[in-house]
Amino acid sequence: MQKIYLDNAATTKVSNEVLTEMLECYGDTFGNPSSIHSFGREASALVDKARDRVASLINAERGEIYFTSGGTESNNWAIVGLALANRAKGNHIITSAIEHKSVLEACKRLERLGFEVTYLPVDKTGLVDIAKLLHFITHKTILVSIMAANNEVGTIQNLKAISKIAHEKGVIFHTDAISAVGNFKIDVKDLEVDALSISAHKFNGPKGVGALYVKKGVKIDNLIVGGEQEKGKRGGTLNVPQIVGFGKACEILQENYIIDCKKTKYLRDYFVNTLEKEIPNITINGHLHQKTPQIASVSFNNIDAEALLCLLDLAGIAVSTGAACDAGSVEPSHVLLAMGKSIEEAQSTIRFSFGTNNTKEEIDYVVAELKKDVERLRSISPLKAKK
Amino acid sequence: MYTKQIMDRFLSPKNSGRMIGADGTGSASNLRNGETARIYLRVNEGIIEEAKFKVFGGITTIAVFDEAMDMLKGQEAINASINEEEIVSHLGFIEAERLYVFKLLKDTLADAIKDYEKRQKRLELKKIKEQARESANKDN
């Protein structure tokens, strides 16, 4: 059976070039980069090279990149670390209602510690209301954290405007760019962000490694303690093979992202256009233009997405009902609800996320399969089609 | 994640779809996740002859409703009930977080029985009125 992967927002396949560089680190270059002998120095040199590559991708300085175990740790660390380090200035944090759980749960943890958190609403396209951001900033606000691009619907936020407002009020700005890096150019200097989270496996790097960019001079407390690694800011022996793979993935992305994004956007748009012609009563979610080229979030009204996902899986097609971190949850997506969707609409939504390896032929097959499966599930749905 | 029995019921439900001329229909929704169901009952002399369903819900929900419809056949309509343990046993295993489906099933069935009873009372009333009319005609 043909197997088609349309879940590239959940994770991507590690590229061969990345794997080749990683495998070398499982050979003779096995030293601990913190060791001062030659084995350690060799490993340390590889980590430095990787750090340069990550920094170069987002136009940061080498010293501003801290390696982590992935996106969740980067987001947890940014929220908790920045809040605790700047507590003397205030105890108010502003984020949005559509953030990833790794941001929202970190905020909830801070609320239990006495911080106040404002969760900004979004409009029906998933955009944060800039006027509301301005309205809610007070003299007690110390941190604004708004994601660069949403992982479920792909909507890209007005980052420059957000950072400008935050900085005019003397507030630190963090952005979760995990679903953005790989989908459009991220330049930390141009965007004027103070902290930014990245994860390697979203753009053909390995899982279990990410980074937090922290602008020089910005104060951040440790999340993980007990080691002098990462200039004493993040304890734990560095995972050299993963870090090396991460660095290589950044280098490849920097060379190819313009062409890759064009190809992915072409495939995504072809899918959406074909789908709209073939299947009635569907809704494409997110912003019409201001969204990542990778994602198409589609509500197949009146049918349950989990049932549809299962039928697609049996036909060899891999998609998801939302964030992979929420898989298994029977609750509707908090992102779609925040965008004003009903519970039924949220439960009818599937995320298709494309990669450069997908083809038009695959998309034709997926649409044909969808047409069949949607008709089947609608025939047993008690909900009526919208006129 | 799902047992073979659940997948079989999900992929080839025996009792799904609309029933024309049902003697009782009922609907209910799960407010938490929006799952919605409708049950149709065909009743002959107080006994459920056929039960069908429509569901806006996931794999487990479809499988449980399909299994339950088989269970309803042959039961006295006004006292029809669902045996959760029996359904779980037939389907092999249901994840704890999916057990909410039984509330949806029970609510939908209760609504269908209520509708059946309402229709029966309406029929009885119609019958009494007809009998009264007939006896009035005879007296005249």
Residue-wise DSSP of A30-78: ---TT--SHHHHHHHHHHHHHHHHHHHHTT--GGGEEEESSHHHHHHHH
Residue A118 has pLDDT above 60, yes or no: yes
Question: Which residues pair with residue A155 across a beta bridge?
Answer: A291
Radius of gyration for the alpha carbons in chain B, expressed in angstroms and rounded:
18
Residue A325 has pLDDT above 70, yes or no: no
Q: What is the pLDDT averaged over residues A282-305?
A: 96
Residue A132 has pLDDT above 60, yes or no: yes
Closest alpha carbon within chain A to B15: A380
Q: Is B55 on the interface with A (CB under 8 A)?
A: yes
How does pLDDT run across A173-190, given as a tens digit for each residue?
A: 999 999 999 999 999 999
Look-up of token digits 């053909």: A204
Residue A239 has pLDDT above 90, yes or no: yes
CB contact under 8 A, B58 and A380: no
How does pLDDT run across B109-130, given as a tens digit for each residue?
A: 999 999 999 999 999 999 999 9
B32 SS3 class: coil
Distance CA A109, CA A93 (A): 12
**CA nearest neighbour of A201 among A226, A222, A182:** A182
Q: Tell me where in chain A the CATH 3.40.640.10 domain(s) lie.
A: 16-253
* The pLDDT value given to residue A322: 72
In B, which residues are within 8 Å of A380 by CB distance? 13, 16-17, 53-55, 62
- Vertex A82, ends A77 and A86: CA angle to 5°? 155
Q: What is the pLDDT averaged over residues B82-88?
A: 96
In B, which residues are within 8 Å of A381 by CB distance? 54-56
Residue B140 has pLDDT above 50, yes or no: yes
Residue A70 contacts residue A207 (beta carbons within 8 Å): yes
CB contact under 8 A, A380 and B59: no
Show the beta-strand stretches assigned E in chain B: 24-29, 36-44, 47-56
Question: Which residues pair with residue A81 across a beta bridge?
Answer: none
- Enumerate the active-site residues of A: 325
**CATH architecture, domain defined by A4-11+257-378:** Alpha-Beta Complex (3.90)
Residue A74 has pLDDT above 50, yes or no: yes
In B, which residues are within 8 Å of A304 by CB distance? 35, 55-58, 61
Q: Give the confidence band of B87 by pLDDT, cuts at 50, 70, 90.
A: very high
Closest alpha carbon within chain B to A328: B97
Q: Tell me where in chain A the CATH 3.90.1150.10 domain(s) lie.
A: 4-11+257-378
Cβ-nearest to A306 among B37, B53, B58: B58
Q: Return the amino acid letter for A51.
A: R
Structure tokens at A335: 């992102």
Q: Which domains does chain B have, with CATH numbers?
A: 4-139 (3.90.1010.10)
Q: Which residues contact B126 (CB under 8 A, 6 or more apart)?
A: none
Q: Give the confidence band of A323 by pLDDT, cuts at 50, 70, 90.
A: low
* The pLDDT value given to residue B1: 78
Q: Is B38 on the interface with A (CB under 8 A)?
A: yes
Please report which residue ranges of chain A form alpha helices under DSSP H.
16-24, 38-57, 71-85, 101-112, 130-136, 159-168, 188-191, 240-278, 305-314, 334-338, 343-347, 360-378
* The pLDDT value given to residue A1: 86
CB contact under 8 A, A347 and B33: yes
* The pLDDT value given to residue B13: 97
Residue A327 has pLDDT above 60, yes or no: no
Of 3.90.550.10, 3.40.309.10, 3.40.50.300, 3.40.640.10, which CATH number belongs to A16-253? 3.40.640.10
Structure tokens at A377: 């599930």
Residue A387 has pLDDT above 50, yes or no: no
CB contact under 8 A, B56 and A331: no
How does pLDDT run across B25-79, given as a tens digit for each residue?
A: 999 999 888 999 999 999 999 999 999 999 999 999 999 999 999 999 999 999 9
Structure tokens at A298: 């589609």
Beta-strand pair A317-318/B24-29: unpaired
**CA nearest neighbour of A110 among A61, A77, A135:** A77
Residue A230 contacts residue A103 (beta carbons within 8 Å): no
Residue A261 has pLDDT above 60, yes or no: yes
* The pLDDT value given to residue A267: 97
Distance CA A269, CA A213 (A): 32
How does pLDDT run across A25-41, given as a tens digit for each residue?
A: 999 899 999 999 999 99
* The pLDDT value given to residue A328: 55
* The pLDDT value given to residue B23: 97
CB contact under 8 A, B35 and A302: no
Q: Which residues contact A246 (CB under 8 A, 6 or more apart)?
A: A50, A54, A67, A200, A205, A206, A209, A210, A211
Percent of chain A's residues with pLDDT above 70: 97
In B, which residues are within 8 Å of A303 by CB distance? 56
Interaxial angle between packed helices A240-278 and A16-24, expressed in degrees from 0 to 180 and rounded to the nearest 10 = 170
Closest alpha carbon within chain A to B54: A380
Q: Residue A24, Cβ neighbours under 10 Å: how many?
A: 12
Q: Give the confidence band of B138 by pLDDT, cuts at 50, 70, 90.
A: confident
Cβ-nearest to B56 among A310, A331, A383: A383
Look-up of token digits 């107080």: B46
CB contact under 8 A, A380 and B57: no
